[in-house]
Each structure stands twice: as structure tokens, then as C-alpha cells.
Amino acid sequence: MQTSVIDIRPAQAADARAYLCFLKAVAKETPYVALPAELATLTPLFTEFLIASILESQQDVLLLAFDQQQIVGAIRVNSPTEQGLTHISEVSIAVLKAKWHRGIGSDLMAHLLASVREIGNPRRLELTVQARNHRAIALYKRFGFVTEAQLAAGFYAPETGYIPVVQMCQLMNMDEEI
């Protein structure tokens, strides 16, 4: 099922308050996304600073999916700054539960991969997904991610205990000189 008109664009500093509300909503409604404990204490001002730092980065990306004025999905590429690791980035994606199964995750992933190809960096995208999240794993495989490892007890959920996770990656832009 395809969604209604969804606008996907890079985050702007002015999106900070709405992005923070989105993250808090996702944290409450899904067992599949691990968000930092500090989320409860994040302020809109700090979130604005975070978005500004992403915008200044040469390879970090934060794309937001809007349904009207509401953020309904987000995808982020976060890159380390340590020498020798700057070609690697971690991908994280979330969609509000009410908007699941409407193509928003696919649209976000397609936009993200197009952005990464255009930037030419990073060269390696990584993500970790709970093994029980079969739909997410299928999405990532559809977009070219491959499984590198499955880790026993990779995530702990109070309601179910320890859960295995799957580590996946995709190499990109490898034919270009770094």
C-alpha cells in the first residue's frame, strides 16, 4: 500500500522541536528502535544544535518524512570522526507506527541512498536490526544490504528478555577514489 503524499527533505534547524517530539513518540510506541536514555532530557535547543552539526557535516545526513506538517519518519547516517573510520556510517531509520506498511521506510531509504551516492561518501553503510524485525530486514535486503553477522543477546527488551540482532552493511561508491 502506498502512502498519501509524503514530503521527504533534509532536516533543518527549525525542525528541532518537531523532530524531538517524533523521536519521543517512536520511543514510546515501538520495541524495535533503541533510542538513548538521554532522549528524555534532550531539549529543543540541543536538538537544533544536533541538526546544525549534521548539516555542517560532509557525510552525515538526516532526512525527514512529512505528512502535512507532521514528521512521520526519519532516516539518519551518522559517521565517526576517528582516523581510518570516516568511510563508515551507521544508518538508523524510524517511522511512526500509525504510518507503518505505507512505503515511507522504502521512500526514506531510496532518498538516503541517492544522497549518499551524490555525496560520494560514506563508502560503507552499517546498521543493526533486531532479528525478530523481519519486515525491516526484508527492506534492507531489498535495498542491497547484506547480513554480516547475527549476534545472540544483542538487544535487551524488558518484556521479552535478550533478543538476537542482525548486523548488515552495504558498500557504496567503491569505484571512486577516496
Sign of CA dihedral 132, 133, 138, 144: negative
More confident residue, 124 or 176: 124
Residue 177 forms part of a structural domain: no
- In angstroms, the CA 79 to CA 102 distance is 29
**Per-residue pLDDT tens over the stretch 40-79:** 788 889 999 999 999 998 889 999 999 999 999 999 999 8
Which residue in this structure is represented by grid cell 543477546?
Answer: 153
CA dist 4 → 64, 68, 72, 99, 100 (Å): 15, 10, 12, 10, 12
Instruction: Give a yes or no: residue 176 inside a domain.
Output: no
On whether residue 1 sits in a domain, the answer given is no
pTM of the predicted model over 0.75: yes
Give the tens place of pLDDT for each residue, 134-155: 999 999 999 999 999 999 999 9
What's the average model confidence in pLDDT over 114-142?
93
Closest CA to 55 of 24, 15, 25: 15
Q: How confident is the model at residue 178 (pLDDT cuts 50, 70, 90)?
A: very low
Higher-confidence position of 140 and 157: 140
Q: Is-contact 6 107, C-beta < 8 A?
A: yes
Q: Which amino acid is at 130?
A: Q
In the chain, alpha helices (H): 16-29, 44-56, 104-119, 134-142
**pLDDT over threshold 70, residue 2:** no
pLDDT value for 147:
98
Domain at 157, CATH number: 3.40.630.30
How many degrees, rounded to 5, is the angle at CA 58 between CA 51 and CA 143? Answer: 85
- Whether the per-residue pLDDT at 173 is higher than 80: the answer is no
Model pLDDT, residue 153:
94
Quick check: is 140 in a domain?
A: yes
pLDDT value of residue 102: 94
Q: How far is CA 154 from the centre of its chain?
A: 18
150 falls within a domain: yes
In a domain, residue 178? The reply is no
Q: What pLDDT, on the 0 to 100 scale, is given for residue 177?
A: 55
Counting the structural domains of the chain, the total is 1
Domain span at residue 23 reads: 7-171
Residue whose grid cell is 521479552: 160
Report the mean per-residue pLDDT for the chain: 90
In the block, cell 533534509 appears at: 10
Q: What cell does 96 get?
A: 511512526
Instruction: List % helix, strand, coil for the chain (3-state, nearest 5).
Output: 35, 35, 30
Task: Categorize the per-residue pLDDT at 176 as very low, low, confident or very high, splitting at 50, 70 and 90.
Answer: low
